[in-house]
Amino acid sequence: MNQTIPRGIHVAIIMDGNGRWATGRGQLRTAGHIAGARTVRRIVETAPGCGIGTLTLYAFSADNWRRPSREVALLMRLFRRYLVSEVARCVTNGVRMRIIGRRDRIPAELLRAITNAEHATRDGRKLELRIAVDYSSRDAIMRAAAKLPAGMPDGDRSRHAFARLLSSVDHGIGESRDVDLLIRTGGEQRLSDFLLWECAYAELYFTRRMWPEFAPADLSTAVEEFHARERRFGTVPEAAAG
């Protein structure tokens, strides 16, 4: 498996607001998810042009299993349909797809689509698209912690080793990436158990725009704002720049 990560920043998106977008139009919540899948397609196409090398999308959290079974079933079908229908386009556009999260509770048909999509797109070099399904950051951290060898010293080397463990438990990619910019649509301002470790120094960007109406121009605006921010990583500006 090719492990080289495409150049560019890591943007993670909590795609919120599908349900409200739909009910606000007198439609079923599921219509919002269907519209949301169209937004995913547009944003994935736009991402490399915005200087994004890794794009991680929060599609289904471990807590989302508690939603009504019809909604869960529709989401699983949508994910499968997306993976199947987008493979050829991803190969053409150099997009490598990876699904992160637990795999032991996912329907067999979706699992097959995941395996196929990951395999078919493995050589993509322009964008790594990570889709989080049945994902819980706290759960991943706990499973990685359980694998830590005893007696690891404090410090950066251990931190890097832990980050690798963390990505191996859930991502299966052995390549950890801190998030540079976290976007959440839909107006809420919380992390909802998404990439808690990887977001340690992420810039946060919240927008009231609902996910189905989040446009390529909104992504560009968020990335422009990110570049205008001063990132210090706990130090002073001159040292951070160095």
Binding residues vs ligand FPP (CB under 6 A): 15-20, 29, 32-33, 36-37, 40, 57, 59-60, 64, 75, 78-79, 82, 131, 186, 211
Asked if 34 and 211 touch (Cβ cutoff 8 Å), the reply is: no
By beta carbon distance, the residue nearest ligand FPP is 19
Give whichever of 168 and 192 is closer to ligand FPP, judged by the CB atom: 192
Give whichever of 44 and 202 is closer to ligand FPP, judged by the CB atom: 44
Compute the least distance from the CB of residue 2 to ligand FPP, in Å: 22
Closest CA to 55 of 8, 10, 89, 96: 10
Asked if 166 and 144 touch (Cβ cutoff 8 Å), the reply is: yes
Closest CA to 45 of 227, 208, 215, 222: 215
Q: What is the 3-state secondary structure (H, E, C) of the chain?
A: CCCCCCCCEEEEEECCCHHHHHHCCCCCHHHHHHHHHHHHHHHHHHHHHHCEEEEEEEEEEHHHHHCCHHHHHHHHHHHHHHHHHHHHHHHHHCEEEEEECCCCCCCHHHHHHHHHHHHHCCCCCCEEEEEEEEECHHHHHHHHHHHCCCCCCCCHHHHHHHHHHHHHHHCCCCCCCCCCEEEECCCCCCCCCCCCCCCCCCEEEECCCCHHHCCHHHHHHHHHHHHHCCCCCCCCHHHHHC
Compute the least distance from the CB of residue 167 to ligand FPP, in Å: 20
Compute the least distance from the CB of residue 159 to ligand FPP, in Å: 30
* Residues recognised as catalytic: 16, 64
Give whichever of 8 and 32 is closer to ligand FPP, judged by the CB atom: 32
Give whichever of 140 and 210 is closer to ligand FPP, judged by the CB atom: 210
Give whichever of 32 and 48 is closer to ligand FPP, judged by the CB atom: 32
Compute the least distance from the CB of residue 88 to ligand FPP, in Å: 16
Compute the least distance from the CB of residue 76 to ligand FPP, in Å: 11
